[in-house]
A and B are shown apart, each in its own frame.
Chain A
Amino acid sequence: MPRFLTDHEHRAVSAAADVLIPPLDSPELGAHPGGGALGVADYVDNLLAAFTVDPPLIFAGGPFSGRHGGVASFGEFLALSPNEELAWRTRIEGSRGIPEREFNGPTRGWQTIYREGIAALGPDFCTVGADEQDRRLRAQNELRAVLYDHACEGAYGAPEYGGNPELAGWRVIGADGDVQPRGYTDDEVSGRA
Chain B
Amino acid sequence: MPESRDCDAVVIGTGPAGATAADVLTSAGWSVIMLEKGRNHLLSLDAPFAGLGHVSNDEIKALRRYFLGPDPFLEPRSYRRDEADGDRLFAGEVNNLPSTVGGGGFHADGKLPRLRAVDFKARSELGPIEGADIVDWPVDYDEMEPYYAEAERLIGVAGEAGANPFAEWRSGPYPMPAGADMFGAILTTEAATRLGYHPYRAPTGVNSVPYDGRPACNNCGFCAHYGCPIEAKGDPIAPLRNALRTGRCEIRPDAYVERVLLDATAKQARGVRYIDIDGNAHEVSARVVVVAGGAWETPRLLLRSEIANSSGLVGRYLMYHFQTFVIGHFPFRLHGHRGRAVTHLHDDHMIVDDASRAFAREHGLPYFRGGLTEHGGGGSPVMEGIYTAPGITHTREMLESNMRDRLWAFTVQGEDLPQATNRIDLDPTVRDVHGFPAGRATYDVHPHEVVASRYYAPQLEAVMRDAGAEFTFAATSPPLDGDRAGTRSASMSRHIMGTCRMGDDPATSVVDRWQRFHDVENMVCTDSSVFPTSTGYGPTLTIVALAIRACRDLAGLPALTSTRPQ
Contact = CB atoms under 8 A, between A and B. Distances in A.
Interface residues of A, number: 67
Given A21-B390, A59-B61, A91-B73, A180 B401 contact: no
Interface string A1-39: 000000000000000000111111010011010100000
Interface string B368-389: 0000000000000111111000
Nearest to A192: B183
Contact of A152 (B230, B382, B433): B382
Interface stretch (B215-223, B233-241, B303-311, B408-416): B215-223
Interface in B411-453: 430-433, 435
Contacts of A60: 56, 58, 60-61
A152 B405 CA distance: 17
B300 interface: no
B498 interface: no
B462 interface: no
Contacts of A83: 71, 74, 277, 433
Interface string B389-405: 01110111011110011
A74 B395 contact: no
A176 B404 CA distance: 12
Given A82-B278, A152-B386, A173-B398, A184 B219 contact: yes
Nearest to B215: A181
Given A22-B395, A62-B53, A161 B386 contact: no
A58 to B, nearest CB: 6
Contact of A29 (B182, B217, B399, B431): B399
Greatest chain B CB density within 10 A among A20, A29, A152 is at A152
Contacts of B182: 189-190
Greatest chain B CB density within 10 A among A29, A179, A183, A185 is at A183
B390 A178 contact: no
Nearest to A43: B60
Contacts of A119: none
Given A26-B399, A189-B183, A191-B183, A86 B74 contact: yes
A180 B229 contact: yes
Given A21-B394, A64-B56, A29 B400 contact: yes
Contacts of B60: 60, 153, 157-158, 161
Given A21-B394, A63-B53, A183-B218, A148 B386 contact: yes
A153 B219 contact: no
Contact of A189 (B57, B338, B401): B338
Contact of B58 (A62, A156, A170, A173): A62
Contact of B71 (A22, A84, A153): A84
A47 B296 CA distance: 32
A44 to B, nearest CB: 13
Per DSSP, chain B at the interface is loop
A156 B381 contact: yes
Contacts of A181: 218, 229-230
Contacts of B54: 61-63, 78
Contacts, number: 193
A180 B391 contact: no
B339 interface: yes
B333 to A, nearest CB: 8
B396 A62 contact: no
Contacts of A86: 74, 433
Contact of B386 (A29, A149, A179, A188): A149
Contacts of A64: 56, 229
B254 interface: yes
A141 interface: no
A111 interface: no
Given A26-B396, A180-B218, A189-B181, A74 B385 contact: no
Contacts of B332: 192
Contacts of A32: 395, 398-399
A184 B221 contact: yes
A184 B221 CA distance: 8
Interface in A51-75: 58-65, 73-74
Given A87-B74, A149-B386, A61 B56 contact: yes
Give the 7 A-B CB pairs with smallest separation, nearest first: A183-B218, A62-B56, A152-B385, A178-B57, A63-B229, A156-B381, A186-B180
22 contacts: A20-B390, A21-B398, A22-B391, A22-B395, A63-B53, A63-B54, A84-B39, A84-B71, A87-B71, A104-B91, A104-B431, A153-B60, A170-B381, A172-B399, A176-B337, A178-B56, A179-B222, A181-B230, A184-B338, A186-B180, A188-B338, A190-B181
Given A22-B394, A78-B54, A190-B180, 4 more contacts: A24-B396, A63-B55, A83-B74, A84-B71
